[in-house]
Chains A and B, each alone.
Chain A
Amino acid sequence: GDSVTQMEGPVTLSEEAFLTINCTYTATGYPSLFWYVQYPGEGLQLLLKATKADDKGSNKGFEATYRKETTSFHLEKGSVQVSDSAVYFCALSVLGSGGGADGLTFGKGTHLIIQP
């Protein structure tokens, strides 16, 4: 079946450091890929997405590139802030294979802590 693997953390960085959160996936079809962010006590918010190979999603200084050859969708940010502290989820949706109306398949989430 489809699956998403990501580092669970916690990942602790200093403010202004460079961030990479790795995400790899297994899917039988051609997935769309997503990153969500969850702040403490809140629901998940869509951070960015990519729907085909080599697409780059970006938002709020975060970027991720859909790499079909390595089945990866790593999240990056050049300079993190304390306000970026949250849990980040990688997810995929595959047409006719558990995605779409069946919901997204999520990784277990990566807890990011940014220290001032």
Chain B
Amino acid sequence: SQTIHQWPATLVQPVGSPLSLECTVEGTSNPNLYWYRQAAGRGLQLLFYSVGIGQISSEVPQNLSASRPQDRQFILSSKKLLLSDSGFYLCAWSPRTGTGSPLHFGNGTRLTVT
């Protein structure tokens, strides 16, 4: 069966520090990969998605970047964190079979920028 791992679970970082969140998927090949952010009291915002190694699409301009160095690895990064980067970050995957396929989420990373 497929599983998705996301770490760390919680993170407290000062403003201006770098960020690296990692997500890996097991039990499937060529997945679509996604990063979402959930701010307090708000819905889910799609940040990045990837359909293959080195292929990243950004949905919103921001202080963050994403990379996919391997087929089942997705990394969210920042060079200098802002207070507004605080939130709950969720990684997700879906099979490469077109519409109708649900997304499968990791357990999320709670990021607090101080």
Contact = CB atoms under 8 A, between A and B. Distances in A.
B21 interface: no
> In which size bucket is the chain A interface?
20 to 34
B85 to A, nearest CB: 19
Nearest to A96: B99
Interface residues of B, number: 28
Contacts of B103: 44, 46, 103-104
B102 interface: yes
A106 B47 CA distance: 13
Interface stretch (A11-19, A74-82, A87-95): A87-95
Interface string A25-57: 000000110101000011111100101000000
B98 A43 contact: no
B43 A101 contact: no
Contacts of A31: 99
A100 B98 contact: yes
B104 interface: yes
A94 B99 contact: yes
B90 A100 contact: no
Given A32-B99, A100-B98, A102-B49, A46 B104 contact: yes
Contact of B43 (A46, A49, A96, A109): A109
A94 B100 CA distance: 8
A102 B6 CA distance: 20
B43 A45 contact: no
